[in-house]
Amino acid sequence: MTAADPLYDADRLQEIADLDLLSPAVDPILRDIAGEAAARLGLPVSLISVVLDEALHVAGSHGIDGLWLGETRGHPVEWSFCATSVRTRDAFVVENAATHPYHGSNPLVTEDGVRCYAGVPLTSSRGHVLGNLCVVGLEERSFSEGDVQILRDLAREAVGRIEARRTH
């Protein structure tokens, strides 16, 4: 018997709803964390994502203004690198997305040119992985454990800000 896919966990999805993470009011409280992640890792794009059962929603971002993702604020969950961390509860690093066995055919790679990705889960105080803090680049890149630790520290700060808004 295989374990149920965490993307569809009703308690996790309810926590996302309880925290009102799809609200436009979330972006301003997370935008500077996304900017700091991009700056500290020297990459053009950083996202704070909420991974739903069918889609990824961008709750905070840096570097996507003027891009289609800046307009749509999300994409299908099938394209989501971030969904991996929801499922594994751990960091996910892709140094060359073009050769990655799963993501090599992803439209974000084939059409938009994504080449590197590093993301860490946003884990709530109730133990649910809400989404990710990630950085994305258009060139192959290695990520050190120190890079991943920077993301983990910033993810904790993001969750703190998100949970400070909790209404119930």
Q: Which sequence spans correspond to the domains of the chain? A: 6-164
Cα 103 to Cα 52, 106, 163, distances in angstroms: 19, 5, 31
The mean pLDDT of 60-72, rounded to a whole number, is 90
Contact status, residue 89 vs residue 70, Cβ threshold 8 Å? no
The mean pLDDT of 31-48, rounded to a whole number, is 97
Question: pLDDT tens digits, residue range 96-151?
Answer: 999 999 999 999 999 899 999 999 999 999 999 999 999 999 999 999 999 999 99
Looking at the domain that runs over 6-164, which CATH code has it been given? 3.30.450.40
